[in-house]
Amino acid sequence: MELNDLIEGFYEEQRVLGDYPGLSIAIQLGPKKTFLKNYGTCNKHQKVNSNTIFRIGSLTKIFTAVLLLQARDSKLCSLDDSIVKYLSSASTKGLHKDFNRITIRQIVSHLSGLPREAPFDYWRTRDFPDRQQFLRCLNSVKPVYPPLHMGKYSNLGYALLGIILENIYGKDYFEILEEKIIIPLNLRETGFYKDKKYRKNYANGFEKENNKIVKRSFTSDLKSLAPAGGMYSSILDLMIFLNIHTGTSQKPQILCQTSIQEMQNPMWISSDFRSSVCMGWWACPVSGLKLLYHGGSINSFSSFMGLVPQLRLCVIFLANMRCDYNRLINNIIGFSKKIDLNSVEAKMVNAEEDATRYAGNYLSPIGDTFYIKNKGHLLFLRKKGDPKVKIELIHTDENVFLMRDGFLCGEELRFHFSDDGMCEFFFAGSMKFINKIIM
C-alpha cells in the first residue's frame, strides 16, 4: 500500500466517525521525503491548507523546553539549580519546603511532583491567572510527590518555567520565544493569541453536541499558563521546528546537537518499560525503535508531534476538534509502524537493480571483511565469520543509509561511486570501508 493511500484511509476513517472537520497531517523521512495532506474546513467558508493556524496546546511545552536548554547553553542558568534561585524573595515566601528541592530539570521532565494545575478553575471559567495572580497562589501549592518519585504531568510546572525564563532574560515570554526560536527559524504562523497577525487564516474550533458538530469559540489568552499550552502554529512551521530535533533542518541550528540529544534521553522509565519521560518529550518503543512524542488537546483542538530519531521520521497531526487522546496516540504510533516497516522503505529503494549497486565485499579499517547484500529492495550488512551480524540498512537519501542496529546503530553509511558507476568505498560514521574489488 502506498503511503498516500494510508493517509487517505486514515482521514476517511476519522471523517466517517465525524471527528475531524479539519485536519493537517505531515510525515517526513529524512530531509527530502515529505508527505503533506490537508482535509476539511478551518471555518465556514475556507478549506484547511498548509498555512492554516491551529491551537497546538501542550506542544508549546517542547518550545519552552528548548528555551530552557538554550539558556543553560548560554550559561544563564543551570538545569540542576533549585527553582527558588530564579524567583523573587516575595514569590518564595511561604512556599512548601519541597520547593527548595525542585530543580529546573525536574520540571522540564515532569519529575517535580507538582500538581497538574494551579489552584484556579480556569478551564471552566476561561479566566486564566496573570503573572502576579499565579505567583501569589504558589504558597498554597503542595507537591503531590517528592521530586524524582515518578513522572507526573504538570501544566503548573511549565507555567513556572515561563516565569523563570522571564526572570532570567528580563523579558516577556513571547519576546524570548520570538527572539530565540520564531525569528531564527522564520516561523511565519507561530505565536500567541494576543498578537493579531496570528489570527488570519485561523481555524475555528468545533465540538460534538447531541451528535452534531457545532462551532466553539475559545480565544482566551492563557496568560501565565501560556508557556504550558498557549501557542498557535501551522503544519509547515511545526515541520521546520521538528526538523531541528532530527538534524535535517536547513535553518540555523538554534540548539546544539548535544542538547538535542539530552532532550531525547529518558529521565524516568515506567516499571513496565512501555513509556518514559524525557525533557519536553515522552517516549515509547515502536518496532524496536524509540518514538518521541507529545500531544496537545485544548478545548476544540487536537495536536500531535512525534519523531523516530534513528530514521529521522517525523509525524505531525493538527485538527480543529477534540478527540480521544489515547486513540489519537495509538493511531499515530500504528501509522508510524506502517511507514517504518512497509511503505517508505519499499518506495525509496524500490527495484532490485538499485539495491545491487551497493552490494559487495568491503574491508574495514581494522582488517575485518563485511558483506553488503541485497534481498530484493532491502540491504543488509554482514560480517565475515560472524553469522550473528545481520544489520538492516535504512535508505534515507541518495547513496545514504542508516544502520538500524548493531555496532554503529543510528549512524550513516555514505557510499561513493566512480565515474563508471562502481561503488569504491563507503563511510560508516568516520570509518572508511573499501571495496575489495579495487584493492
Q: What are the beta bridge partners of residue 212?
A: 209
Domains annotated for the chain, with CATH where assigned, are 3-345 (3.40.710.10), 352-438 (2.40.128)
More confident residue, 385 or 331: 385
The percentage of the chain sitting over the pLDDT mark of 90, rounded to a whole number, equals: 41
Reported as a pLDDT band with limits 50, 70 and 90, residue 343 is very low
More confident residue, 162 or 192: 162
Spatial CA neighbour of 312 closest among 245, 408, 409, 358: 245
d(CA 51, CA 368): 52
Q: Which residues of 94-107 are buried (b: 16+ CB within 10 A; e: fewer)?
A: ebeebbebbbbbbb
Query: Taking 70 as the threshold, does the pLDDT of residue 410 lie above it?
Result: no
Full-model pTM: 0.75
Taking residues 405-415, what's their average pLDDT? 69
What are the two backbone dihedrals, phi and then psi, of residue 312, each rounded to the nearest 5 degrees? 55, 40
pLDDT score at 219:
62
d(CA 115, CA 262): 25
With 0-12 / 13-18 / 19 or more C-beta atoms within 10 angstroms meaning exposed / middle / buried, residue 275 is middle
More confident residue, 119 or 313: 119
Reported as a pLDDT band with limits 50, 70 and 90, residue 344 is very low
Query: Taking 80 as the threshold, does the pLDDT of residue 71 lie above it?
Result: yes
Q: What is the pLDDT of residues 224-259, one digit of tens each?
A: 999 999 999 999 999 999 999 987 777 888 999 899
Taking residues 53-78, what's their average pLDDT? 97
> Residue 161 in contact with residue 71, Cβ under 8 Å?
no
Reported as a pLDDT band with limits 50, 70 and 90, residue 4 is low
Query: Taking 70 as the threshold, does the pLDDT of residue 274 lie above it?
Result: yes
Query: Taking 50 as the threshold, does the pLDDT of residue 348 lie above it?
Result: no
The percentage of the chain sitting over the pLDDT mark of 70, rounded to a whole number, equals: 79
d(CA 164, CA 132): 13
Taking residues 76-88, what's their average pLDDT? 96
Bridge-based pairing state of the strands 231-233 and 191-192: antiparallel
More confident residue, 110 or 389: 110
Reported as a pLDDT band with limits 50, 70 and 90, residue 389 is confident
Q: What angle do CA 13, 16, 17 make, to 5 degrees?
A: 90
The residue assigned the cell 517516549 is: 283
pLDDT score at 411:
65
Q: What is the pLDDT of residues 187-235, one digit of tens each?
A: 999 998 656 665 668 888 877 677 777 777 656 789 999 999 999 999 9
Q: What is the pLDDT of residues 13-63, one digit of tens each?
A: 666 555 557 888 888 876 666 778 888 888 767 889 999 999 999 999 999
Report how far apart, in Å, the C-alpha atoms of 109 and of each of 95, 171, 268, 393 are: 21, 24, 8, 33
Reported as a pLDDT band with limits 50, 70 and 90, residue 340 is very low
Query: Taking 60 as the threshold, does the pLDDT of residue 291 lie above it?
Result: yes
Taking residues 150-179, what's their average pLDDT? 96
d(CA 328, CA 101): 36
Angle of helix 60-73 relative to helix 257-264, nearest 10 degrees, comes to 130
Query: Taking 80 as the threshold, does the pLDDT of residue 65 lie above it?
Result: yes
pLDDT-wise least confident of 158-172, 337-351, 357-371, 398-412: 337-351
pLDDT score at 339:
47
